[in-house]
Amino acid sequence: MANLNASPPRKGLLGVLFPRTSPVALAGEGAGKAANVQAMEMEISWLKMQLAQFQKEQSQFEGPDPYFLGTEHLSGIIPPIPGAGVRATAGSPSMAGYILSADAWQILISKFLKPNSQLLDIGCGSGKMARNLAYHPHVRKYIGFDVLKDSVDFCNQVLVPRIGPKFEFHHLDVVSCYNPQGAIKPTEVAFPAKDGSVDLAWGCSLFTHLLEPDARHYLREVRRVLAPAGMFLPTIHTNPAPGTRYSGDEVKIDVDVDYFVEMCDEAGLTLAVKLGEVLGQYAMLFKVKPGSSTPTIVNVGGAKTETEVAEASKPKTGGVPVPPNNGALTEEMLRLNEQWAEKEHVTPSVHPGDFIFWFVATHPEMSLEDATKYYFEDGARSAAKLDGHLTRLFGEDKKPIKLLEFASGYGCVSRHLKKNPRFDLTSCDIHPEAIDFLTNQIGVDALQSAHTPEGFATPKKYDAIFCLSFFSHMPKATFGRWIKALYDSLEVGGYLLFTTHGVKSCQGLQITVDDADEEGFWFQARSEQHDLDAAEYGLTLSLPQYVVPTVHKAVGAPIADYKQAEWWFHQDLWIVKKNR
């Protein structure tokens, strides 16, 4: 008898390409069903699996967290794609748009990329191009900057630890409709690169958002940083309003192609080739105009000669003058301390060796009354600011928070933290006399620190450890080791909060970012604490490109949060979470 379920063989070309086969019988639930029914159920099951996988990936694509394309070792090599919110700030909210535009720009830039090049990404966003150029053999150094802090934070916290310190990202706090509270006028922006140092610069969807005076300034800055043989690749929208050559607002700017070429010519850039449209914008390539001079614009980096750099690196004396009379406070000091301490509801006692007090009390531009007022009010501000960050991290309900204030000195901030009922506070310092003062005068638990990280141990674990202006003094030899020592003293789920001298500190340190080494680190054997070895406790500048990989190497944890110039308008705040 013929098999009713068997399919007749196909003939001709159709039979060659798609021959009919007998479905393999299922075992288990589908057993006993007709073969063609089993085959259909298998296909439906397979389609459901594919759909589930697609939905899983799609939800990851559109989620707020970075999307990792690998696990284990691969996750440390392949840079993740930013979450949907960060992508949106760079004009690529969809995954398809992000990948498509990044691929197009990679091809375009690679066409003009020469070996051993320094690159400048003007408006780098969330590192779309940095990801694609992460391991390009021709990249000697990549500099990116943007006005959107969240995008730059993603680059520094997520990309740099994976692609290395030759990639650096800067947040320029420029006023725009995208950054209305910015502090820098667009016509006063200085690109974070030396004169004549950039081999290839580009502005992907940059001049589509710049008003004409701002665009002209940016073009002059491009000319300043371009090397003699350097090239510049911008894109523009090319449909200005009728009767105009440059129109629109910061959301969308349109400019006549020939008018943009004239603007570039006036800035010292000459057209090399019109490349045409790419993803809805018009691209061109410019070179340095022969015979044009470099605009005299102050450079953020501030190029220095080798002699000047060497001079800046020499050990120097200075800081706080040695207090007179072994630090004995005068009657007027005691009276003013009482006055301002009463306003803050804290103890007025100040130790004779309190270098912070003497720093302000001997400041040439402050009266004694203003200095005393500042000492007590600034301690209160720091305590309140820390409380705000810990509330954000732990919520309102966590009580108590086991808090270690590390390198607390003689209690400038501790006396104010002590008032907060949410804190189970321990203060910690290297000076034995500070421990005695903190215990007996400030009234807090105090822990003796150590001269080496390996010699430091705590009797318990803490929910939070706060180091205010400690890592702004550590040499490279102990910087990462202290990160590890403090991180190890945290409870799982706890946070390490510390501040560093960052870009905004350069003016006060009388240096520029170019004084830092290739890793983004600068140290000088100079300190306001006369009783400490300046080689172990000096003056430190540590830029994000140094801090991020150093933390990752020391404890294997990412940066949970970073806020530039969060303390005293110049020290950066770093937050690291202990997840395991």
For residues 228 and 134, membership in a common domain is answered with yes
Lowest mean pLDDT among 148-157, 309-318, 451-460, 534-543: 309-318
Whether 475 maps to a domain, the answer reads yes
Which is nearest to 121 in space by CA: 100, 142, 141? 142
Question: How open is the CA angle 570-474-564, to the nearest 5 degrees?
Answer: 25
Is residue 312, in this structure, part of any structural domain at all? no
pLDDT band at 146 (very low <50, low <70, confident <90, very high): very high
pLDDT for 300: 32
- Is 128 part of a structural domain of the chain? yes
51 domain residue, yes or no: no
For the ranges 88-102, 137-151, 275-289, 514-528, the lowest mean pLDDT is seen at 88-102
- Say which range, 69-73, 98-102, 155-159, 334-338, has the weakest mean pLDDT: 69-73
User: 444 in a domain, yes or no?
Assistant: yes
Q: How confident is the model at residue 530 (pLDDT cuts 50, 70, 90)?
A: low
What average pLDDT score do residues 72-77 get?
Answer: 80
Tens digit of each residue's pLDDT (9 = 90 or more) over 340-357: 999 999 999 999 888 889
Q: Provide the pLDDT for residue 308.
A: 38
If asked whether residues 333 and 237 sit together in one domain, one would say no
What is the CATH number for 85? Answer: 3.40.50.150
User: Any idea which of 76-85, 290-299, 520-529, 560-569 has the lowest mean pLDDT?
Assistant: 290-299
Residues 390 and 331 in one domain: yes
Residues 258 and 340 occupy one common structural domain: no
- State how many domains the chain has: 2
The pLDDT score that the predictor gives to residue 299 is 30
Q: What is the pLDDT of residues 467-485, one digit of tens each?
A: 999 999 999 999 999 999 9
**Boundary of a domain, candidates 303, 332, 348:** 303
130 and 271: one domain? yes
The mean per-residue pLDDT over the stretch 380-405 comes to 94
Pair (533, 431) in one structural domain: yes
Q: Are residues 264 and 345 in the same domain?
A: no
pLDDT band of 45, cuts 50, 70, 90: confident
Across the range 40-44, mean pLDDT stands at 82
Same domain flag for 230 and 337: no
**Which two tokens mark 253?**
């700017």
Higher pLDDT, 419 or 92: 419
Q: What is the pLDDT of residue 88?
A: 67
Q: What is the rounded average pLDDT for all residues in the chain?
A: 85
For the segment 353-384, what is each residue's pLDDT rounded down to a tens digit?
A: 888 898 888 877 788 999 999 999 999 999 99
pLDDT of 108 > 50? The answer is yes
Q: Are residues 398 and 250 in the same domain?
A: no
Q: Is the pLDDT assigned to residue 31 strictly greater than 70?
A: no
Q: What is the end-to-end Cα distance of the chain in Å, rounded?
A: 69
Other CB atoms within 10 Å distance of the CB of residue 356: 20
| pLDDT over 90 (residue 49) | no
pLDDT of residue 406: 97
Distance CA 8, CA 395 (A): 70
Average pLDDT over residues 437-455: 94
Confidence (pLDDT) at 11: 56
For the segment 426-441, what is each residue's pLDDT rounded down to a tens digit? 999 999 999 999 999 9
Q: What would you report as the CA-atom Rg of the chain, rounded to the nearest whole angstrom?
A: 30
Instruction: Please tell me the total number of residues recorded for the chain in this structure.
Output: 580
In the predicted model, is pLDDT for residue 320 greater than 50? no
Q: Tell me the pLDDT band of 66, cut-offs 50, 70 and 90.
A: confident
- Are residues 347 and 277 both part of a single domain? no
Average pLDDT over every residue of 115-141: 92
CA 376 to chain CA mean position, Å: 31
The two tokens of residue 576 are 């690291």
8-12, 214-218, 283-287, range with the lowest pLDDT: 8-12
- The average pLDDT across 111-126 equals 93
Residue 295 banded pLDDT, cuts 50, 70, 90: low
Give Cβ neighbours of residue 424 (< 8 Å, ≥ 6 apart). 400, 401, 402, 403
Angle at 563 between CA 561 and CA 564, to 5 degrees: 145
* pTM beyond 0.75, yes or no: no
Give pLDDT, residue 507.
Answer: 81
Confidence at 153, pLDDT banded by 50, 70, 90: very high
Quick one: pLDDT band at residue 322, thresholds 50, 70, 90? Answer: low
Residues 275 and 333 in one domain: no
pLDDT at 206: 92
Residue 533 domain boundaries: 324-577
Domain boundary, last residue among 303, 334, 364 = 303
134 Cβ contact partners less than 8 Å away, ≥ 6 residues apart = 79, 159, 162, 163, 167
3 state DSSP class of 10: coil
Query: What burial class does residue 68 get, using C-beta atoms within 10 Å of its C-beta: 0-12 exposed, 13-18 middle, 19+ buried?
Result: middle
Per-residue confidence band for 18, with pLDDT thresholds at 50, 70 and 90: low
Whether 305 shows a pLDDT value over 60: the answer reads no
Amino acid 205 reads: S
280: which residues sit within 8 A by CB, 6+ positions away? none
Q: Domain boundary residue among 271, 303, 335?
A: 303
Give domain status of residue 52, yes or no: no
Together in a domain, 161 and 250: yes
Going by pLDDT thresholds of 50, 70 and 90, the confidence category of residue 323 is low
- Rounded to whole angstroms, the Cα distance separating 515 from 539 reads 13
Q: Is residue 25 in a domain?
A: no
